[in-house]
Amino acid sequence: MPCFKVNVKWGAESYKGVEVDTDQEPLVFKAQLFALTGVSTDRQKVVVKGKIVPENGWDSIKLKNGQAILMMGSVEENTVDIAPENRVKFIEDMSEQDLVAVLDLPSGLTNLGNTCYMNATVQCLKTVPELTTALKAYTDSGQGYSSTSSPAESIISALKQLYSAMKQDTAVPPVILLQVLHDVFPRFAEKGEGGRFIQQDANECWTELVRMLQQKLYPAGNGDVEQDRKSVIDTYFGGSWDVEMKCDESEEEPVTKSTEAFTELNCHINTDIKYLDSGLRANLKGSVDKRSPTLDRDAIYTKTSRISRLPAYLRVQFIRFQYKQKDNVNAKILKEVKFTMILDLFELCSPDLQKKLMPMRDKFKEQEDKKVEEASKIDMSGAVKKEKKMKKLPYAFEDDVGSNNSGYYELQAVLTHQGRTSSSGHYIGWVRRNQTEWVKCDDDDISLIHQEDILKLAGGGDWHCAYVLLYGPRVLEVEEEEEKMEQSGEKVEKTEQSSMDTQ
């Protein structure tokens, strides 16, 4: 007998361990919910991963133990038979658009003919609040998209308009952005047999959109003079490497040091790479062939890199495509490379940056130790855990807006590809909704999925596999009283240090 224990969410109420027997009709489960909530079975809407459970059975619904289930509906009340001025709209009477609004799901994007690569990119970028805020605050010449606009201005205006429209409709046709993309980058407008647009590479689309935003879009409220400002991309996506070059063929030649900027990290895939972190570490050291001023010829150099600035938002690309000259295609590497929800880049950083990261990392450890201690005390006493007022600490260094001050990241969007070449197949965007749920953005088909399903996108077969990952800063939450005490302690320490300096 297929029986599962699920967690039901109804408004502000939660019910854990509710049994579901899938051999029985859903009406039996609804009867259990009626006993728990008082909402009659005919007024209930039961939703699993964005799908409403049908009346005739569980065949189309996949359940597992611990599954999150949303129940919507209201308790009937005895009322005088007078029509209210503003009639209440019950969930069973809602349209698909109303249902998406209640579930707080993002709007879908219509596929205009092999445009899934653009739709998936747009959905992933939309998860960055600082970017959407900057777009909302952006003011152009008043022309919007016009023939006199620069390419960057055209892209920014079109993206701003699209994000605005996505707040109002369940499915939006991204016509203007596609038109601008084709005008600015003609290769994306290539057509095949029958006049249909050819599938394009989503990572190339991401790269070009970011490059345009980098030219003209600035953080909201960050000064008025362009030359004194960094773009929103440089601020929140831009990192830097400390690079050392040592000539392997000349001991006399001194080591040269430089700094290189980046807006993404790459994970090359080979037989030895099984995990994302090992793929990233492999980029820290390598060999390059360049001109040696000492030897006056080309020579082999060892290039060693360490991150000297971590951005708030980290884009990671899996190098999944390699060009095959024989077939004239970018063939896909299907090998599985596992990634994690939490990413720690401390080991990739320079010693100076590691030292700067330690104070916030210590706070994370203290908070985790405290949670473990509190949980053990509650388990022993059987007391009910009290809700505490929490406060989010800044994720950036005080003197570096848009940086990451801990080295910890949390996965917030995944762009996947299904198919054998970059110019074929299908792209999908997957975006985080909360700590346990994600949203699958398959063009205009929007559905809820569990976090565990995201980790299955690591590759290894013909199913969707991760192509681009977007990590955001892991934000530390502490009790408000605890933060006040800590700030007070810091002030005392600074005062004492100032007094010592004066003496």
Each residue of 465-501: pLDDT tens digit?
999 999 999 999 988 765 555 555 555 455 555 555 5
Q: How many helices (H) and strands (E) does the chain have?
A: 12, 23
pLDDT > 50? residue 80: no
- 378: helix, coil or strand? helix
pLDDT at position 489 is 54
Q: Which residues pair with 21 in a beta bridge?
A: 3
Query: In 10 A of CB 96, how many CB atoms?
Result: 9
Q: Which pLDDT does position 321 carry in this prediction?
A: 85
Active site (annotated) includes residue 116: yes
Q: For residues 305 and 302, give the distance between their C-alpha atoms in angstroms, rounded to a whole number.
A: 10
Question: Of 182, 268, 426, 450, which residue is the catalytic one?
Answer: 426
Which among 424, 420, 435 has a CA at the least distance from the CA of 465?
420
In our burial notation (b when 16+ CB lie closer than 10 A, e otherwise), range 381-392 reads eeeeeeeeeeee
CA distances from 450 to 65, 68, 284, 454, 473 (A): 12, 8, 34, 7, 21
Residues 333-360 have a mean pLDDT of: 96
Q: What angle do CA 261, 263, 265 make, to 5 degrees?
A: 100
- 170-174, 213-217, 433-437, 497-501: lowest mean pLDDT where? 497-501
Q: What's the predicted TM-score (pTM) here? A: 0.75
Predicted confidence (pLDDT) at residue 180 exceeds the cutoff of 90: yes
Model confidence at 147: pLDDT above 70: no
Q: Which residue, among 115, 126, 112, 200, has the nearest Cα to 162 in the 3D structure?
A: 126
Specify the pLDDT at position 497: 52
Per-residue pLDDT of 290-316, as tens digits, reads 999 999 999 999 999 999 999 999 999
